[in-house]
Amino acid sequence: MTHEDRRPPLIGISSYQDAAAWSVWNQRASLVPQTYVDSVVRAGGIPVLLPPQPGGAGHLLDALDGLVLAGGPDVDPARYAAAPDPRTGAPHHARDDWETRLLRAALARDLPVLGVCRGMQLLNVELGGTLVQHLPDDSHQRVPARFVRHRVDVVDGSRLAAVLGPATEVSCYHHQAVDRIGSGLQVTAHSADGTVEALELTGHRFALGVQWHPETDPDDLRLFHTFINASRTADRTTGRTAGRTGSPPAGRGTSQRETAR
């Protein structure tokens, strides 16, 4: 085994740009919650922050072993051909564009992808799915900046079930959810109210999205460990082109939120 084989995998974490304050400064900065960085490190990876930028997604993914699409603001409804609900947040075009390019490049290279909250929703939208723009009040997001704890039930036989078992307690903070399922995606977890809690992309080495925030639980790194282990298998000598040669085609799936109840 070479030194290259033994080194920890390089994990890209999508970040965003926002106003920030530190020391005597108050200006725009590239940000990501430290919990993502800590989770990748504790699970055995080396985090690399990926702030929105005009180009370079393909070159970056050629150098990385895995991609985390972090949580954040609402995905622009125009991306799934919907008019914005009055309760949908203002679009973040730069971040939507950047993360979509990162996701396409990762899928084209069969690179492991873990989508968290918004990241799972973006995965669904990129593959032709749609979103519920507002869930019933006080269901999955009650108090600003405070996570809601609830149980999710995991589909037997799924990759997620092999990691978490038939059910688990999670921390969530979202007012939108997956509606019509994107092409090639399978629903692998639900909450009691029927909300889609996890998606997996069939035919891919590791492409999994969860609606909750696993990075906020330092005592449960099972999902991050599994993702990091999948990232260790990346074939750096072939440019990771042995899998898909392009992003999977967007398709029109079917809404499963009601049928899952």
Question: Model confidence over 61-108: pLDDT tens digits?
Answer: 999 999 999 999 999 999 999 999 999 999 999 999 999 999 999 999
CB 13 within 8 A of CB 31: no
- CA-CA-CA-CA torsion sign (102, 22, 34, 144): negative
Please, which pLDDT band fits residue 142 given cuts at 50, 70 and 90?
Answer: low
Q: Is 172 a catalytic residue?
A: no
pLDDT at 235: 52
Q: How far apart (Å, rounded) are the C-alpha atoms in residues 80 and 91? A: 13
Q: Is 197 a catalytic residue?
A: no
pLDDT at 141: 57
Question: Which is catalytic among the residues 92, 99, 117, 204?
Answer: 117
- pLDDT (average), residues 155-163: 97
Please indicate whether residue 249 or residue 23 has the higher confidence score (pLDDT). 23
Beta sheet of 148-154, edge-to-edge order: 46-50, 10-14, 66-69, 113-116, 207-210, 196-201, 185-191, 148-154, 167-172
Please indicate whether residue 58 or residue 3 has the higher confidence score (pLDDT). 58
Domains of the chain, each with CATH number or no CATH: 3-232 (3.40.50.880)
Instruction: State the pTM of this model.
Output: 0.87
Question: Which is catalytic among the residues 140, 175, 204, 213?
Answer: 213
Residue with tokens 């999994």: 208
- pLDDT (average), residues 218-225: 95
- pLDDT (average), residues 148-160: 94
pLDDT at 234: 57
Task: Indicate whether 241 pLDDT > 80.
Answer: no
Among 140, 141, 143, residue whose Cα is nearest residue 152:
140
Among 56, 78, 70, residue whose Cα is nearest residue 16:
70
pLDDT at 239: 44
Q: Is 215 a catalytic residue?
A: yes
pLDDT at 137: 67
